[in-house]
Amino acid sequence: MAIHNILNNTGEWLRGEGPHHQIVVSSRVRLARNLKSFAFPGWAKKHERLQILEAIKPQVEALTEMNDAFSVYSQDLSALEKQVLVERHLISREHAAKGVGSAVVMNRRQTLSIMINEEDHLRMQAIRAGLQLKSVFKMIDKVDSALEERLDYAFHPKLGYLTACPTNVGTGMRASAMVHLPALVMSEQINQVIQAVNKIGLAVRGLYGEGTEALGNLFQVSNQTTLGEKEEDIIARLHKVIEQIIEHEQNARQMLLQKKPNTLLDHIGRGYGILRHAYSMNSKEALNLLSFMKLGIDLGFFPEGCRQPIDELFMETQPAHLQKGTQQKLAADERDSLRAEIIRAKLNEFPRPDVGLPPTSSAPDGNGSQN
């Protein structure tokens, strides 16, 4: 499969609908694995890295899950192509910086992606829409079990899977869910939630990690520790916490509808107005306004048909996605006008927010998010 097949089609998780997909954008599980008799990629010399790569890559390509895979050496991807993959969470930023000696293999649906010679010899991940950590784990676990038959993993009876970084040793697993929490941010409860989650050994990061002020009200919740707890237990614990976060977000939304309907409508209305009429917009502003649109759809202010275009814009307005269509590098101001143009075009047919729903009194069924 060629790179343009990947670039021109967004992954399944971006379109797919999963459980709780309104609030949980995606679930992801990654496993870190290393081969027994080679130095870790960061310490291995170039010829050794190439040896490792040639030992692993054919085995990964031979997986049944990868029978229609896109497989490519890092040096054969342009910087822009790599950036697109980063924006889709298919490779890490660290992997995007790699050249000769590294590769990535992903399936057509872009639900599985295996990085070779990232920080560890193998970094494999599965990603799907909505809250389905368990099935995502199963998916990647199966791949791991198939690979372990053919590759000699570095495994220690006491410490488990050995990784370049001691923070990953043990299960080598990082499970995470990306959640959209606009109401918790608006009602200023988000910090409490983050602190509570941190207390039980889970980490909360923004979409791009900038402190707690997450772009587009998107947060990633993940396990922080990997040693001393079973994979299934980590997943179950994380799942439970995410369910609680969903509940808090839903409560916060109802609270805003009942107590501060004007603030809520103002955010959504402004988002709609600016997105439809702006001629220049940076990606931070776009993400934040798109977040309000998404919330507006969840609350029934826009028809359900608006959901997919908005979800797509979250990705399409990212810098590399924006430029992949133009085939040339754009200056920041050119990107901003192109971004505004794409958004205007997509929102052209959008109806105005239907505030006829009586948000001032309590919603008819006490739940404005039915659809």
Partner 1 sequence: MHCDVCKTNQATVFLTQIVDGKMQKVNLCEACSKEKGVTDPTGFALADLLLGLGAAQEMERGGTVQKCPACGFSQADFKKTGRLGCATCYTTFADGLAALLKGMHKGTDHVGKVPARLAKSIEREVQLKTLQRDLKKAVASEDYESAATLRDQIRHLDVD
Residues making contact with partner 1 (CB under 8 A): 30, 34, 36-40, 42-43, 89, 92-94, 119, 141, 144-145, 148-149, 153-162, 164-167, 169-171, 173-174, 195, 198-199, 201, 203, 205-211, 220, 224-231
CB 177 to partner 1: min, Å = 12
CB 368 to partner 1: min, Å = 31
Q: Which amino acid is at 34?
A: N
Q: 117, 102 in Cβ contact below 8 A?
A: yes
Rank residues 62 and 97 by Cβ distance to partner 1 and give the closer one: 97
Q: Report helix, strand or coil for 20.
A: coil
CB 126 to partner 1: min, Å = 13
CA distance 308 to 161: 40
Q: Which amino acid is at 332?
A: A
CB 229 to partner 1: min, Å = 5
Rank residues 209 and 303 by Cβ distance to partner 1 and give the closer one: 209
Rank residues 211 and 356 by Cβ distance to partner 1 and give the closer one: 211
Q: What is the dihedral of CA 54, 58, 60, 62, to 10 degrees?
A: -170
Nearest CA to 186 out of 241, 294, 260, 273 is that of 260
Rank residues 99 and 358 by Cβ distance to partner 1 and give the closer one: 99
Rank residues 42 and 366 by Cβ distance to partner 1 and give the closer one: 42
Nearest CA to 231 out of 155, 157, 140 is that of 140
Q: Which residues are annotated as a binding site?
A: 26-30, 89, 123, 174-178, 205-210
Rank residues 131 and 235 by Cβ distance to partner 1 and give the closer one: 235
CA distance 121 to 332: 36
CA distance 293 to 19: 20
- Number of neighbours of residue 47 by Cβ within 10 angstroms: 9
Burial class (CB in 10 A: 0-12, 13-18, 19+), 113: buried
CB 192 to partner 1: min, Å = 13
CB 185 to partner 1: min, Å = 17
Q: Which amino acid is at 328?
A: Q
Q: 271, 301 in Cβ contact below 8 A?
A: no
Q: Which residues are annotated as a binding site for ATP?
A: 26-30, 89, 123, 174-178, 205-210
